[in-house]
Amino acid sequence: EDVNNGGYDAPSNVNEVEVINTYELEEKAKEVVPKGGFDYMSGASGDEFTLQQNTKVWDKKGILPRVLADVEFPETSTSIFGQELKVPFVMSPIAAHGLAHQTKEAGTARGIAEFGGSIMSISAYSGASFSEIEEGLKDNKRWFQIYMSKDDEMNKNIIDEAKADGASAIILTADATLGGNRDRDDRNKFVYPFGMPIVSRYLKGDAKNMSLNNIYAQSKQKISTDDVHFLKEYSGLPVFVKGIQTPEDAMSALGAGADGIWVSNHGGRQLDGAPGSFEALESISKAVQGRAPIVFDSGIRRGEHMFKALASGADIVGIGRPVLYGLALGGWKGVQSVFEYFEKDLKRVMQLAGTQTIEDIKKARLFDIK
Ligand code: PYR
């Protein structure tokens, strides 16, 4: 039992993880992560319809194998906001990595840093402080995801700290003004076993032994385009609006000055009944028309999924749960294994689809599956 972790017995081993596919990682993580934490990470809202749709809707589009394409050693490099990336995927923001592993976000950060050329999104609901995360992240690129306080002075204070930490973009998660209806957490009476140092300044309590619903209720619930203006003006950094699932909301975010659109349904954890995230992507991309980069997440489990998202208008994709499962199974080395798996899998798909570069994927034509 780890006394620093509120008696919550997260795994602590550090080892490479064999990734046959990321679905199996979930099954294996279930065996080593305490039930409350595993259900929180893997679970979603309501009937978990949207969670399931996120991985099912990939079957609505197919990839055309192209031959005689003169392709060898596909190149996955790309860039966003002037930053060079080795791969077109980044870590999506997720709260409380300490549920998966005792090293918390520092473990995830180190795995990403050792992989190199990607970006760590640091959640405002991180269980580790910025300086603890830095021990793993070591100057690697990072974005900061904010759950806002109702008090803008607190928000300024948090933004100041994120900027001092080196955040190169702010992600406003706009789809989580309260918690989705999560049966698994209710059944387990789930509370976080450790605190959240970044937002503890605006919570009554420090998040330890608090439910997500309690924490969301103390965060800002009334989010509007004014908040996009505020974050952009105060931070001077590019701002993403995350949780976009309709062209209308993409337009409203851009109108408010958003620099990036983050298409996501929060891994199916918020509004159940929402479409599988990939279903929402194409119409959003058509509305955005290249005026701002699009990050896509919710449902990426294979290289084929990355390919389909990039071919449907995403510039970058975010990976989430598979990384946490890698963290649970092998600490930072497990995280690195998951990043390496996705890189290798994407390259294989690129080769078979006859695409040499990420730009080639963006031009690739998918076909409809009825
Ligand atoms: C979630 O549990 O989905 C959060 O974003 C905290």
Encode pLDDT of 49-80 as tens digits: 999 999 999 999 999 999 999 999 999 999 99
The model's pLDDT over 280-311, given as tens digits with 9 standing for 90+, comes to 999 999 999 999 999 999 999 999 999 999 99
* pTM as predicted: 0.98
Give the mean model confidence (pLDDT) for residues 185-211. 96
pLDDT higher than threshold 90 for residue 3: no
Q: What is the ipTM of this complex?
A: 0.98
- Across residues 8-32, what is the average pLDDT? 98
Average pLDDT for residues 365-370, to the nearest whole number? 96
**What is the largest distance, in Å, between two alpha-carbon atoms of the chain?**
63
**What mean pLDDT value characterizes the chain?**
97
* Catalytic (active site) residue 266: yes
Catalytic residue among 97, 101, 266, 305: 266
At residue 319 the predicted structure's pLDDT band, cuts being 50, 70 and 90, is: very high
Residues with a CB atom less than 6 Å from ligand 1: 95, 125, 176, 212, 266, 269
157 pLDDT band (50/70/90 cuts)? very high
pLDDT at residue 1, as a whole number = 46
Closest CA to 122 of 110, 112, 109: 109
> Do residues 145 and 171 lie in contact, with contact meaning Cβ atoms separated by under 8 Å?
yes
Q: Which residues pair with 84 in a beta bridge?
A: 79
Q: Which of 266, 271, 297 to mutate to test the pocket of ligand 1 (most atoms within 8 A of CB)?
A: 266
User: What would the pLDDT profile of 237-290 be if each residue is shown by its tens digit?
Assistant: 999 999 999 999 999 999 999 999 999 999 999 999 999 999 999 999 999 999
Strands (E) in the chain, as ranges, are 61-63, 78-80, 83-85, 89-91, 120-123, 142-146, 170-173, 239-244, 260-263, 294-296, 316-319, 366-368
Query: Tokens 């974005």 label which residue?
Result: 143
Q: What number does the ligand 1 atom closest to the CA of 93 have?
A: 5
Closest Cα to atom 6, ligand 1: which residue?
95
Average pLDDT of span 25-31 = 98
Distance CA 108, CA 137 (A): 8
Q: Count Cβ atoms within 10 A of the Cβ of residue 369 and give its class: 0-12 exposed, 13-18 middle, 19 or more buried.
A: exposed
Q: What is the pLDDT of residue 7?
A: 78
